[in-house]
Structure 1
Amino acid sequence: MTSTPTARPPVARKDLLKAFTASLSGTTLEWYDFAIYSAAAAIVLPSLFFPSGDPMVGVLLAFSTYAVGYVSRPLGGVVFGRLGDKIGRKKVLVWTLFLIGVSTFLIGVLPTYQSISVAAPLILVLLRFAQGVGVGGEWGGAVLLSSEYGNPHYRGFWSSAAQIGPPAGNLLANGVFAGLSLALPEDSFFAWGWRVAFLLSAVLVLFGLWIRLKLEDTPVFKAVEKTGQRAEKPISELWTEERRPLISAVLSRIGPDVTYALFTVFTLTYGTMILGLDRATVLGAVMFGSAFQLVCIPLAGFVSDLINRRLLYGIATLGTVVWTFVFFANLDAGGAAWMYIGIPIGLFFHSLMYGPQAAFVVEQFSPRLRYTGASLAYTIAGVLGGALAPMMFTLLLDVSGSWVWVAAYLAGTCVLTLIGLAIGRDNDVQEDLDHLDTARPGAAV
């Protein structure tokens, strides 16, 4: 049986909305945790966990711990991605959410260097590693949860649920951080105020678990089970059968990861340490840009369903490179006002890449290997892109004394993304529709 272009997934609309919410809540928690750490790494952690006579050295050490959360992601991608293709999306997503939340909560109660000496940064690295393992299995499953419940003709929009998580989490995290900074004296903020932001992650964990436990697995995975197509060795099968899609998906993610790190993480360091701006001012600009993305990302995903997804992605990548040079060229003179203009525009270009990204990555892989493929693409790109970016930006600025090398580094990573888009494939809607037909009650195998 061949589905018509108007075919709908075999689920009730309320279940579709639950899947969208479950996907959004998980990635919101993921990025709330990472954004809290990012802000803390730029402002608080250097003095509390990495004391040094040189402030820039402390920042570099804090960002190196930030990178651990990315380096550990491939382990989570391998472990949870494999399980997601073998036992289902839902079961794995419950465990990833729990692991991320517990790790973040424990960072909030961790004694500082002054209390337990070198054990403090070592435990921080361990918790950051655990965070990354959970995140490594979270994104791929969250994307599949919403996209495989939704109509594949509108995969760009439905997949954007997971993509809204970063700005939503970033907005929550920086809002909490900025609020605590304004409400508390500096000594109180450094003594205990920053911990509140980490402890609040427990609320997001409980909400996310409640939503996910109420869901069934996706119709596409049920169809894969029903037809006996489940992968027995997902990792090896992915590498032998779908190597080019994996390379395409990895490269496509690097530029956007680096862009996000620049406009939401590095700008905190540059604004406070180089321009001498108040940290609440820079956090406010990041929050404003993140709020803007809440609308831009799903809109970009929807637009990518109407036009060629790779074309939109590629144009946005080129626009990002141009805007980065414009942003830094005017930053010294523009100061705080330019931050409120430049960061949101930078995040707008990021949205045009990030909105279609989840759908592009998912559609590179066959349904039976999607969790593994999407997770590995996400985690490997995270190591090559987002993990290194804050350290590289800081190092290049420290060595050269110029922002030009920072912008050039971003431009180089965007070239890799353009290569990934060029070797990727366009969406094959029929592939999913055939699986959805199989999942319908009474369908023949």
Structure 2
Amino acid sequence: MDHQPAQRLSLRAARRRTAAAMLVGTTLEWYDFFLYGTAAALIFNKQFFPELSPTAGTLAAFSTFAVGFVARPVGGLVFGHFGDRIGRRNTLIVSLLMMGLASTSIGLIPNFDAIGFWAPALLVIARVVQGFGLGGEGAGATLMSMEHAPAGKRNLYAGFPQMGTPAGLVVANIVFLSISALMPTGAFESWGWRIPFLLSIVLVAVGLAIRLRVEESPSFSQVVEEKSVARFPLRDALDAGFARLGLTLCAVLANSAVAYVFMVFTLSYGTKQLDYNKDFLIACVSGAAVVWFVSIPYWTGVADRFGRRRMFVWGSLAILVWCIAFLPMLNTGSVVVAALAFLGMGLIVPVTHSVQGAIIADTFPASVRYSGTSLILQLGAILGGGLAPIISTALVGESGGSAGVTVYLVVMCAISLSGAVALFRRVPEGERDGEAVIAEGRLAGAVD
């Protein structure tokens, strides 16, 4: 009896289950992360920094937001080390637990009026745990999905966890907006904002139930079978060379910076400087994220069929151009023009975001891929996204206008565009994804 069709069906089902589990897990973790960003823009200055001026309070709230990004590289390195040593699956389960418990605890922290200094101190601690957990999520989920991918669909499968970013944003904003709409403004700002954070514990239970059914990555299983588990994965990952690692980092900076300006900073800027309705801005960001979410499979399909390099470069150029127009469009005060500005972001950002995880992961062989990918992803997150709301708020506070923010974004986009062009010229086009390892363990691209 021929069992091959049944085996192929079982393998296909396992691959799809893994991709779905990574998407659901990353959605839940990004829900927690973005929920904090929305609350930092709209609530935390009043709850945890009431003695500061509105601008200073917002800066302080965004500073606690940035603390999570500082913790992300540390979490990425720790989770990356164990992910390369003991496997992807278990580390991803731990990261999901850390994020969920930290977010739930934020909903329980008393405000400044109740416990004084300890309120923002506990908020920072919870945020550090959030960032630490998310630091292990981004790279691990991308690897788990990509390393289960069938031939010719590497970018598509690596893109499923990337979809968790806009999905988490949409879920966070919908929950935040719905609870805000159902409650009187005073009650929501006093205690209702805690409900979305407390819901994290329910979402984590769902995510764990799904992730516990996922099998270990075939690539890592092969590493174990061949007894080639790296003793110090990060050290070996650095063999890629400073030039290649630096260019890869530069290539992904803009996407993170632009995304956090349009997802987080605009909520504060639009309500305080331009008098847009808070609910309207959240709806615009959510709508853009929906477009972002649904377009990722299209772009990863294009990358699998025609190659991702040219697509990434043109996408980087498109982001640069749209950043020139984005804030001036918001400044018109027109809700129609503002909605179009956000829609443009939702269309353009996923061009590069959809494949950047795969581009980074394919820099490293399987034995050190988690550590190397985590390093680049999390450094890019802190240098790009983590600082973007703070820098943007400070620039607006200094000048009273958005021109400085536009210049800042254009500079970040120029750095990424230049980095991508230089990276793709340096690394041979024919290099086989993630497997072109030079003798004695040195990585592809390390030798000129």
TM-score, normalized by length of structure 2? 0.91
Structure-1 residue corresponding to 2:154: 155
What are the within-5 Å matches in structure 2 for residues 226-375 of structure 1?
A: 226-375=225-374
Structure-1 residue corresponding to 2:221: 222
Preserved CA contact (<8 Å) 1:220 1:432: no
> For each residue in 1:161-214, what CA deviation from the matched residue of structure 2 results, as whole angstroms up to 9, or x when unmatched?
111011100000011111122111111101221111111112221122112111
Q: Report the AA paired with residue 179 of structure 1.
A: S
Structure-1 residue corresponding to 2:441: none
* Most deviating of 269-278 and 326-335: 326-335
Preserved CA contact (<8 Å) 2:66 2:386: yes
Preserved CA contact (<8 Å) 2:300 2:354: yes
* Most deviating of 402-411 and 81-90: 402-411
Q: 1:191 and 2:190 equivalent?
A: yes
Q: Report the AA paired with residue 423 of structure 2.
A: I
Aligned to 1:12, the other structure's residue is in SS state helix
Structure-2 residue corresponding to 1:440: none
Aligned to 1:255, the other structure's residue is in SS state helix
What are the within-5 Å matches in structure 2 for residues 17-416 of structure 1?
A: 17-416=16-415
Preserved CA contact (<8 Å) 1:282 1:336: no
Preserved CA contact (<8 Å) 1:252 1:420: yes
User: How many angstroms apart in 1 are the aligned matches of 2:430 and 2:198?
Assistant: 41
Report how far residue 112 of structure 1 moved. 0.5
> For each residue in 1:315-350, what CA deviation from the matched residue of structure 2 results, as whole angstroms up to 9, or x when unmatched?
111111111221222322243222211112112111
Preserved CA contact (<8 Å) 1:260 1:347: no
User: How many angstroms apart in 2 are the aligned matches of 1:107 and 1:36?
Assistant: 11
Report how far residue 153 of structure 1 moved. 2.0
Q: Report the AA paired with residue 223 of structure 2.
A: V
User: How many angstroms apart in 2 are the aligned matches of 1:13 and 1:433?
Assistant: 26
Q: Report the AA paired with residue 191 of structure 2.
A: W
User: How many angstroms apart in 2 are the aligned matches of 1:10 and 1:379?
Assistant: 36
Percent of matched pairs sharing the same residue: 35
> For each residue in 1:356-386, what CA deviation from the matched residue of structure 2 results, as whole angstroms up to 9, or x when unmatched?
1111111111111110011111111111111
User: How many angstroms apart in 2 are the aligned matches of 1:36 and 1:427?
Assistant: 42
Q: How has the CA–CA distance of structure 1 residues 412 and 112 changed in structure 2, closer, same or farther, with 3 Å as cutoff?
A: same
Report how far residue 420 of structure 1 moved. 3.1
Q: Report the AA paired with residue 197 of structure 1.
A: P
User: How many angstroms apart in 2 are the aligned matches of 1:152 and 1:49?
Assistant: 51
Aligned CA RMSD, in angstroms, stands at: 1.9
Structure 2, unpaired ranges of 5+: 1-6, 438-448
Report how far residue 307 of structure 1 moved. 2.0
User: How many angstroms apart in 2 are the aligned matches of 1:427 and 1:168?
Assistant: 34
The alignment of Structure 1 onto Structure 2 pairs a total of residues equal to 427
User: How many angstroms apart in 2 are the aligned matches of 1:307 and 1:158?
Assistant: 16
Q: How has the CA–CA distance of structure 1 residues 207 and 420 changed in structure 2, closer, same or farther, with 3 Å as cutoff?
A: farther
Report how far residue 53 of structure 1 moved. 4.4
Q: Report the AA paired with residue 404 of structure 2.
A: W
User: How many angstroms apart in 1 are the aligned matches of 2:193 and 2:213?
Assistant: 33
Structure-2 residue corresponding to 1:423: 423
Aligned to 2:276, the other structure's residue is in SS state coil
Structure-2 residue corresponding to 1:439: none
Q: How has the CA–CA distance of structure 1 residues 227 and 242 changed in structure 2, closer, same or farther, with 3 Å as cutoff?
A: farther
User: How many angstroms apart in 1 are the aligned matches of 2:241 and 2:339?
Assistant: 43
User: How many angstroms apart in 1 are the aligned matches of 2:394 and 2:430?
Assistant: 39
Q: How has the CA–CA distance of structure 1 residues 366 and 10 changed in structure 2, closer, same or farther, with 3 Å as cutoff?
A: farther
Report how far residue 249 of structure 1 moved. 3.0
Preserved CA contact (<8 Å) 1:78 1:376: yes
- Greater length-normalized contact order (CA 8 Å, ≥ 6 residues apart): 1
User: How many angstroms apart in 1 are the aligned matches of 2:240 and 2:111?
Assistant: 48
Q: How has the CA–CA distance of structure 1 residues 208 and 319 changed in structure 2, closer, same or farther, with 3 Å as cutoff?
A: same
Aligned to 1:177, the other structure's residue is in SS state helix
Q: Report the AA paired with residue 423 of structure 1.
A: L
Preserved CA contact (<8 Å) 2:362 2:433: no
User: How many angstroms apart in 1 are the aligned matches of 2:342 and 2:300?
Assistant: 21
Structure 1, unpaired ranges of 5+: 1-7, 435-445
Aligned to 2:193, the other structure's residue is in SS state helix
Q: How has the CA–CA distance of structure 1 residues 111 and 9 changed in structure 2, closer, same or farther, with 3 Å as cutoff?
A: farther
Report how far residue 10 of structure 1 moved. 11
Q: 1:15 and 2:14 equivalent?
A: yes
Q: Report the AA paired with residue 90 of structure 1.
A: R
Report how far residue 354 of structure 1 moved. 0.5
> For each residue in 1:92-127, what CA deviation from the matched residue of structure 2 results, as whole angstroms up to 9, or x when unmatched?
111111101100000011111111100000000001
Report how far residue 431 of structure 1 moved. 5.5
Report how far residue 432 of structure 1 moved. 5.3
